[in-house]
Amino acid sequence: MLKVVEIFYSIQGEGSQVGVPSIFIRLYGCNLTCPFCDEILHKGEYEELTFEAVLERIKGYPSMQVIITGGEPTIYNLNGFIEFLQAYMYSVSVETNGYNFSNISNANWVTYSPKDWNKIEKFGYDEIKFVVSKDSPVEKILEFKSYKPIFIQPQNEVDRPNKENVNFCIEFVKAHPQFILSAQLHKFLGVE
Ligand code: SF4
C-alpha cells in the first residue's frame, strides 16, 4: 500500500527532464521540516492505495513518464512499486532529499536535493539540485564537484517565481558555470 496525497499530470519543470510531460505521484510524509517547503501537500490528507489502484489512476494519461515525489518518497521502500510500474513500461523518476537511496535503487532517474549542505552525498543519483535563496550559504557548495548535472534552483513561492531569488541564481550560475539554472518552469507557466 502507498500513502498517496495526489496524482496529477503536468510537465516536469525542473532539472534535466524539463518540459517532459509526466505523471506526478505525491506521497505522504517527510523526514524533515524545512521552513521553505513548497511541497506542503505532503502534510495533508492521503489515501492508502494498492499498486494496482495507482496503475488504474495513471493509465488514463498518455505519458509513460512517472515522477514519484513528496514529501520524501524514500521514507518508504519503493523498489517493489518501481518494478511494478516498470513492468508496465513506465519510466520512473524519483525526487529525494537523500534520506535512503537504497529504497529507490531501481529507479530510472533520481534527482537528489540535499537540504544539509554540510553533508552532501556523492553517489546514488543522476542529477543534483540545490534550492537557493539570496540568503543561502552558497559558499558551502562552491567547491562541490560532480560528473552529474548540478542544478541551482531558486527558492520560489509555492505557486509563482520569487524574482529576487531567481535573479540571484541567474547571477550565481553565470559566475560559477559548473552549475546549471533550474528555474521551475511550471511556476513561470502557472501550471501545477
Ligand atoms: S525535504 Fe522537501 S518535502 Fe521535506 S520538508 Fe524539506 S522541502 Fe519539504
- Across all residues in the chain, what is the average pLDDT? 95
pLDDT(114) > 90: yes
The rounded distance, in Å, linking the Cα atoms of 112 and 127 is 6
Question: What percent of the chain is predicted at pLDDT more than 70?
Answer: 100
Report the DSSP beta bridge partners of residue 126: none
29, burial (CB in 10 Å: exposed 0-12, middle 13-18, buried 19+): middle
The rounded distance, in Å, linking the Cα atoms of 138 and 133 is 9
Give the Å distance between the CA of 99 and the centre of ligand 1: 11
DSSP annotation of 137: -
Protein residue closest via CA to atom 8 of ligand 1: 37
Average pLDDT score over residue span 30-52: 90
Per the structure, the complete domain to which residue 77 belongs is given by 2-189
- List ligand 1's pocket residues with C-beta within 6 A: 30, 32-34, 37, 39, 42, 70-72, 97, 115
164-189: pLDDT as tens digits:
999 999 999 999 999 999 999 989 98
129-141: pLDDT as tens digits:
999 999 999 999 9
Give the Å distance between the CA of 39 and the centre of ligand 1: 7
Domains identified in the chain, total number = 1
CA angle 159, 188, 134 (to 5 degrees): 75
